[in-house]
Structure 1
Amino acid sequence: MTAEGDENYLTTAEVARRLQVKPETIYAYVSRGLLTSIRARGRRGSLFSTTEVDRLASRSVDHSGVVERIESELTLLQHDELYYRGHPASSLATSWTVEQVANLLWTGEAPPQPSTTADGSAAAGFAVTREGVKLARAAIAVAPDTARLTDRLRVAVAVLGAADPLRFDLSVPAVTAAAGQLIETLVTALPGDYVAAGATLGARLWPKLSDEPPRAEVLDAALILLADHGLAVSTVAARVAASARANLYAVISAGLGALDGQYHGAAPTLAYEFLRRAQQDPLKALSDQLRSGEPIPGFGHRIYEHRDPRAEVLLELLGDHPIVGTIAAISERSPTFPNSDLAIAAIMHAYNFRPDAGDALFAIARMIGWTAHALEEYAAPALRFRAMGIYTGQTT
């Protein structure tokens, strides 16, 4: 190819300065198809389209080139469906235990059906130690009374990590064992009644969130459906930490930090507040929200086009509860569809969960996914994430 005019083109030296790399790296980009080399009539050397260079500059890079995609075998979002390693998550949510789904995501193996206890209930549960629970409770107790459940989880994760002398063992057996024990310890240590081993994780978490008679299957389904959702911002944060070979507790802490943002982990709480107003007058709540110019909390999604399969499963589990009718009344007039945040908010209202329960439920569930993504990163080249910074400040 040749360039008729060079006002929209850059020389190799100019591209190197723009991308802050050596000229040799520019030639490597050309050989990999990331840049197109163009010959200019009447002059030596190659030229490169400014638009193409700008596009390349906006991407993330590692030390040797551009990282365009993160390959993963974990979660597929396709045609308004969610799959974990090829299994529809909507089916797993009502037929597998949380521990089984965690094992599937962590190891790729479909575990056998769980054994049963003497009373016929499913035996479930990750390993946990009395010392770990005691330490987590002490860490949680340090938080002020105004702290949210997710604040308490962050403190407990940091303390439990500091107490684990083998936390830098990044082998698959060590990481999966630590992850299971961490999740179980956090659930057990949270304030609320204790449920004996043998119950499902949802049953053990329920009294930490609500004083209502438990419906463990609802929480179990929610934990499974929220376990992973591809490369959400908190998952990317967890993967970046794992790429630096941070231990599991640090990876979880990185995910919790990103989850705390108002555009991510706080979404269930925003949906909860909107649904609280809507219970009094659905049409007025919708009208007020539309008038504000802000998105309707709990409705629509950046990936799903027509339906959120997670919301459908959870709302179906609520049956004919009045809160489902409220959602239906809003949905008739809303330009979009209910998402999982609204479904979690509906569960919270239906069973009088504490107001900060949604964020905590989201965080505990997503720890399963962060662990799975960390394991993928531990098997990949280290330090493969490095964003290309373009200096725009003053020069001397």
Structure 2
Amino acid sequence: MRDQDPAPIDTGRRLSTKEAAELLGVKPETVYAYVSRGQLSSRRAPGGRGSTFDAGEVEALARRNRRESAGSPGSGGELSVRTRITLIEQDRYYFRGVDAVDLAARHTYEEVAEWLWTGRIRPGAAFTAPAASVAAARRAADALPEHTTPTDRLRVAAIAAASADPLRFDLSEDAVLGAARTLVPTLVAALPPLRLTPAGRPDEGPLAGRLWTRLSGRDPDAASLRALDRALALLADHDLAASTLAVRVAASARAHAYAAVSAGLGVLEGPLHGAAGGLAHRLLLDVLEQGDAAPVIAGELRAGRRVPGLGHRLYAGEDPRARALFALLEEIPCAAPALAAARDVVATAARRTPLHANVDLALAVLTTSFGMPATAGETIFAVARTAGWIAHALEEYGERPLRMRPSGVYVGPRPPRALPE
């Protein structure tokens, strides 16, 4: 049984933050998150204390939220997908029922990936790529124009690696797991190294160390490699983000694992999913250069842009991934200036909208602290999330084929119409 919609409110008046939160059924912090994402507009209350909201906008958003929460496959509402991989609730997230932050603190990225794929930990798990796969991926990626982004290289590398695997159409669990364990290191190997290991071999050892050579020309120490590995593990999955849904749609059509990962990488090209790390990176560089977050944030708001690195639609409080990364980076001396700049961003933005830091801001602290380019956050995200994409593809292969087929709601002119002249 569905609850009845509440009686309509006077859409001509303004609502306080508390009233808007009650109507939406959320915490006041979430109301400001809606403002940050452009789903609500706000106006400073008379006297300068707090904000007010257009009652019509709030009621329209509340109706939309109720429709989405009541949706189910085939009902015309939000598509719901049963999954055993990731749960997000009460400002925490879990991988197969285990606290993801605790799991990442105790296991490497490769071990976390194995847990997502199989529900088992393989101590000392290491991913290696066949020479033929790496050669094909590098040839294809190196043929791209000079201005190519790392995500471009990863997409092309995934396709090239598929062409080098004659067994890619075998969707049995063992075959997909074998492909996954070689695809992830192949993607890293397709990125051009900025430095070599002391032995001159950038494609051996833990994955975080291999990825480091593609992101920074500085020599890493144990603490910096631990921070990168922790970031990879924390970002390995995050429920049905847009890229993950694309992967599941591809897997539902029984596309092989390489094609499914390619679908996820394609979605990362969108500015609303994947590019946020680069925006936060540039923001932090500007704050570090000016020594103050206030003029930088003022410039963002004047240009009509939301401040990157703040707020997350799934967390009312601080993003747990950001909290875990910040705690680790506090132990690294060279990260102190960027950490201070990030705290300045959060504190300055809180004067207008009380939003917490998200993982993009934490990634920006990591990438700016070690002299990485602005694209490094997106690269880390893409490599890390490949583990989650494979886990979702594996799960989808066990479901009914082509079930990802929501019904369209036609709103065009009703037939019959005369043929056009």
Q: 2:407 aligns with which of 383, 388, 391?
A: 388
Distance 1:96 1:191 in 2: 27
**1:324: Cα distance to partner?**
0.5
Distance 1:221 1:333 in 2: 28
**Corresponding residue for 1:4?**
none
**1:350: Cα distance to partner?**
0.3
**Corresponding residue for 1:363?**
382
Question: Does 1:337 find its partner at 2:356?
Answer: yes
**Corresponding residue for 1:234?**
243
**Corresponding residue for 2:268?**
259
- TM-score of the superposed pair, with normalisation by structure 2: 0.75
8 A contact 1:59–1:388 mirrored in 2: no
| Deviation readout 1:217-263 (Å, 9 max, x if unpaired) | 11101111111000000000000100011100110011011111000
SS at 2:87 equivalent: strand
The 1:318–1:363 alpha-carbon spacing in structure 2 relative to 1, beyond 3 Å, is same
**Corresponding residue for 1:166?**
167
SS at 1:387 equivalent: coil
**1:393: Cα distance to partner?**
2.8
Distance 1:305 1:173 in 2: 39
The 1:347–1:61 alpha-carbon spacing in structure 2 relative to 1, beyond 3 Å, is same
**Corresponding residue for 1:328?**
343
SS at 1:250 equivalent: helix
**1:391: Cα distance to partner?**
2.5
Distance 2:183 2:79 in 1: 33
SS at 1:375 equivalent: helix
8 A contact 1:59–1:387 mirrored in 2: no
> Any residues of structure 2 matched to 1:239-250 within 5 Å, and which?
239-250=248-259
Distance 2:102 2:410 in 1: 49
**1:87: Cα distance to partner?**
1.6
**1:289: Cα distance to partner?**
2.4
The 1:296–1:65 alpha-carbon spacing in structure 2 relative to 1, beyond 3 Å, is closer
Instruction: Give the counterpart letter for 1:248 in structure 2.
Output: A
8 A contact 1:60–1:386 mirrored in 2: no
SS at 1:372 equivalent: helix
SS at 2:93 equivalent: strand
**1:288: Cα distance to partner?**
2.3
Runs of 4+ in 1 over 4 A off after TM superposition: 58-62, 64-68, 194-198
Q: 1:270 aligns with which of 272, 276, 279?
A: 279
8 A contact 1:188–1:194 mirrored in 2: no
**Corresponding residue for 2:216?**
210
The 1:59–1:301 alpha-carbon spacing in structure 2 relative to 1, beyond 3 Å, is same
Distance 1:146 1:102 in 2: 31
**Corresponding residue for 1:156?**
157
Distance 1:355 1:259 in 2: 15
**Corresponding residue for 2:145?**
144
The 1:199–1:163 alpha-carbon spacing in structure 2 relative to 1, beyond 3 Å, is closer
**1:303: Cα distance to partner?**
0.5
| Deviation readout 1:71-112 (Å, 9 max, x if unpaired) | 11111111111211122121222210111101100011133x
Q: 1:224 aligns with which of 216, 233, 243?
A: 233
Runs (5+) with no aligned partner, structure 1: 1-50, 115-123
> Any residues of structure 2 matched to 1:44-63 within 5 Å, and which?
61=73
Instruction: Give the counterpart letter for 1:233 in structure 2.
Output: A
Distance 2:403 2:169 in 1: 19
SS at 2:236 equivalent: coil
Q: 1:350 aligns with which of 339, 353, 369?
A: 369
**Corresponding residue for 1:90?**
101
**1:60: Cα distance to partner?**
6.7
8 A contact 1:80–1:307 mirrored in 2: yes
Distance 1:225 1:137 in 2: 28
| Deviation readout 1:36-72 (Å, 9 max, x if unpaired) | xxxxxxxxxxxxxxx9xx969x95745x998852111
Q: 1:317 aligns with which of 315, 328, 347?
A: 328
**Corresponding residue for 2:192?**
191
Distance 1:381 1:137 in 2: 36
- TM-score of the superposed pair, with normalisation by structure 1: 0.79
8 A contact 2:180–2:390 mirrored in 1: yes
**Corresponding residue for 1:287?**
298
**Corresponding residue for 2:113?**
102
**Corresponding residue for 2:134?**
133
SS at 1:301 equivalent: coil
8 A contact 1:67–1:385 mirrored in 2: no
Question: Does 1:72 find its partner at 2:83?
Answer: yes
Instruction: Give the counterpart letter for 1:237 in structure 2.
Output: A
Instruction: Give the counterpart letter for 1:322 in structure 2.
Output: P
SS at 2:121 equivalent: coil
The 1:297–1:386 alpha-carbon spacing in structure 2 relative to 1, beyond 3 Å, is same
Q: Which has the larger radius of gyration?
A: 1
Instruction: Give the counterpart letter for 1:367 in structure 2.
Output: T
**Corresponding residue for 2:398?**
379
Distance 1:291 1:209 in 2: 32
The 1:278–1:169 alpha-carbon spacing in structure 2 relative to 1, beyond 3 Å, is same
**1:364: Cα distance to partner?**
0.7
8 A contact 2:79–2:406 mirrored in 1: no
SS at 2:188 equivalent: helix
**1:211: Cα distance to partner?**
0.7
| Deviation readout 1:261-292 (Å, 9 max, x if unpaired) | 00001111111121121212212112222334
